[in-house]
Amino acid sequence: MKNLSLIVTFMSFLLSCSKSQIHIKEIYAHDTINIQRDVIWQKTIPFSKLVERIRYFPIPTDKDFLIGKTSKLMVTDSSFIIMDNRITHSVFAFHKDGYWKSCIHQQGNGPTEYLQLSDICYNPQNNELGVYCNIKNKILYYDLNRGNFLREFKLPYKADMIGVVGDKMVQCAEYLENIALKKDGLYPNLIYLQSDSFINVIGKNYFKGPVNRALVTSSQSWFSSWEDTLSIKPDHCNTVYHCTKDSIFPAHFLDFGVCNVGNRYWSKILEKNMTSKKINDFCKTENLCETIWYMESKDYICFTCKQNGELSRVIYSKKRNKGFRFTLLENDMDLFSSFQPKAILGNKIYVFLSSHNVSTISRSLNEKLIPFKLKDVKEGDNPIIVELTLKDFLIL
């Protein structure tokens, strides 16, 4: 990994206000992760090569806490927070010890309600859960332990996702046009601002071309968080941004060499009558590698590669500067868990395991092969959260 550190001074964007412009210093720590050099590509890898331990956290099944479709998982030191914005339009929180903390189900048009459950964020400083409604463009805050409404916060810019770090907020616009931040005919995908005022606003990752062309395809962006850092890889770029209490800056560049998504990709996007099929065919022909479902912790990076019509996973150790890329992860440990990451915290990756799959697999196994915490799982129960502790890449 190549480390570069530059001090960059720039003028901050301002909203229409009477305060004068302020110069802000931003730390530019741009590391290049050479995928071809630092990541070992194997078609198939057994679980036991990467995973040290597997733990199960069955989500209690209760008539007042029935999860429909899991859309997002957030993991804290003591709790799991699950968003279901497809069926129940609710947010569920339960303790890792197995008891429920709260269920937030406030869909509606009232003063304490959200019309649409677009995204959620968590502020550990005051144990508040923020529910983002992009229709009303506001965040409603609830107490995580009891689900009580606390306050609401109106945002000045349109976005699809939000993240909070300290008193700063980051919005991911996903190609929505925010006129106030327009620069050289382009709009930012990332908007970094103070959550208690909208004076110093920074736009990053200005997307190229008309919005309708950019939306031909999507790389499924989302926020990761650890300590005082947020991480996100915006749509269709190989640059990963870190957001701290002091600044937002490009932290990593995922380098696939000649397979990088770059200018030739965007030139194709801008052609007339472009469709999703045409751009996918172009990516196959050019052997371009798109990165999707990126997530990051203090210790590891995990994402999916889409190349030549095939999906592969990458797990990369930031500490060891080493990683693995694989198409299939064979489960030679518990026969139940799959590798479809939903969250990452430290050296632990979290996935969901459905009660249907547990019931189906259990019927075909000797009872001695069924993990103790899965023996009482019944068809129709809430899903199980599986914690996969990764091995130290130094010993692989």
Q: How many CB atoms lie within 10 A of CB 314?
A: 20
Strands of 128-133's sheet, edge to edge? Answer: 119-123, 128-133, 138-143, 149-154
pLDDT of 274 reads: 85
Beta bridge partners of 207: 187
Q: What is the pTM of this model?
A: 0.89
* pLDDT, one tens digit for every residue, the chain (396 residues): 434 333 333 333 333 333 323 333 334 447 899 998 999 999 999 999 999 999 999 999 988 889 999 999 999 989 999 999 999 999 999 999 999 999 999 999 998 999 999 999 998 888 899 999 999 999 999 999 999 999 998 999 999 999 999 889 999 998 889 999 999 888 999 999 987 777 789 999 998 766 776 666 677 788 999 989 999 999 888 899 999 999 999 999 999 999 998 888 888 888 888 888 898 899 999 999 999 999 999 999 999 999 998 999 999 999 999 999 999 999 999 999 999 999 999 999 999 999 999 999 999 999 989 999 999 999 999 999 999 999 987 655
The count of other CB atoms within 10 Å of the CB of residue 288 is: 21
Strand order in the sheet with 90-95: 72-75, 79-84, 90-95, 100-104
Q: Are strands 248-255 and 31-34 parallel, antiparallel or unpaired?
A: parallel
Please give the pLDDT value at position 235: 84
Region class of 208: left (phi > 0), else alpha (psi between -120 and 50), else beta: beta
In whole angstroms, what is the distance from residue 175 CA to residue 158 CA? 10
Are the C-beta atoms of residues 89 and 100 closer than 8 Å to each other? Answer: no
Signed CA dihedral, 144, 134, 169, 207: sign only? positive
**Lookup result for tokens 């962006």:** 221
Say if strands 39-46 and 322-330 run parallel, antiparallel, or are unpaired: parallel
**pLDDT for position 6:** 31
What's 114's DSSP letter? Answer: B
Domain that holds residue 120: 5-395
Q: What's the confidence (pLDDT) of residue 345?
A: 96
The CATH number of whichever domain residue 193 belongs to comes to: 2.120.10.30
Torsion-angle region of residue 259: left (phi > 0), alpha (psi -120 to 50) or beta?
Answer: alpha
What's the confidence (pLDDT) of residue 219?
Answer: 72
CA angle 109, 127, 225 (to 5 degrees): 95
- Beta carbons within 8 Å of 97's beta carbon, 6+ residues apart: none
Phi, psi for 267 (deg, rounded to 5): -65, -40
Q: Which structure tokens are listed for 230?
A: 């947020």
What is the tally of structural domains in the chain? 1
